[in-house]
Amino acid sequence: MSDELKQHIASAFDRDLEGIQAQILKMGGLVEVAIHDAAKSLETRDEELAGQVVTGDEAIDAMDEALNEEAARVIALRAPTATDLRVVLSVMRMSANLERIGDLSKNLAKRTTVLAQMTQINGSTTALRRMARDVELMLKDALDAYIKRDEALALDVLDRDRDVDQMYNTLFREFLTFMLEDPRNITSCMHLHFIAKNIERMGDHVTSIAEQVVFLATGSTPDEARVKEDRTSSDPSLSTDIELE
């Protein structure tokens, strides 16, 4: 193969890759809006906005499908080298993560109607919205880190997911306490707990995107084995001390 031909193929691949990366950023932007609007609709009980999030998820799903097709097309057509292949595969994984965050946002938005009919739990939706806001900013930074192959920023995102996990654990305790105080709070708190868990899972998907960035930037996964803990699953004191109250 002549050098000229190689060069031509390489730049065609670069163009393809730029196209894919532009798509993933556009998709990321839609998902940021979905998180934001879902959390806002919950706090303000805005059923119209919630409806927009639900409808808007179709566009996100369609982008995921288009991205996968495009990535497969590029792999088949360009037969990229190991490093380039890694970039394309990482985009496919990121797309899957974004699609799942979109689904989780849709689930959040769907609870707006239910929550609007229930006993209000003081301050809870504000706390949930703050948690969602953190996840939204984490996603924004993870995507920025991706574009700049910025390992430090990606590690910062990983770090912040621990705070989100912590917020979730705190809320879990709070909801349990509310339920124990007054059984009329049980149904509301079950729904609020669902919501908190949903947001916590969004954080996990953002984490997975940030891990891809670290991998792309450094060629290895984040040093520290991330101790991903839903503490409610393994900390007996969390439940027993509440039970003894």
Of 133, 140, 162, 191, which lies in the binding site for its own copies, with binding defined by CB under 8 A? Answer: 191
Q: Which stretch binds its own copies (CB under 8 A): 92-100, 124-132, 138-146, 161-169?
A: 92-100
Q: Nearer to its own copies by C-beta: 2 or 234?
A: 234
**Closer to its own copies by Cβ: residue 144 or 230:** 230
Decide if residue 220 touches its own copies (CB under 8 A). no
Contacts within 8 Å (CB) and 24+ apart, 69-72: 70/16, 70/19, 70/20, 70/23, 71/20, 71/95
How many angstroms from the chain centroid is the CA of residue 209?
A: 8
Taking contact as CB under 8 A, which single stretch among the options 26-34, 79-87, 138-146, 212-220 is the one that binds its own copies? 79-87
Question: Residue 140: how many CB atoms within 10 A of its CB?
Answer: 16
What is the footprint of its own copies within residues 13-52 (CB under 8 A)? none
Residue with the two structure tokens 């806002």:
40
Q: Which parts of this chain interact with its own copies (CB under 8 A)?
A: 68, 72-73, 75-76, 79-82, 85-86, 89, 92-93, 96, 107, 110-111, 113-114, 117-119, 176, 179-180, 183-184, 186-187, 190-191, 193-194, 197, 230, 232-236, 239-240, 242-243
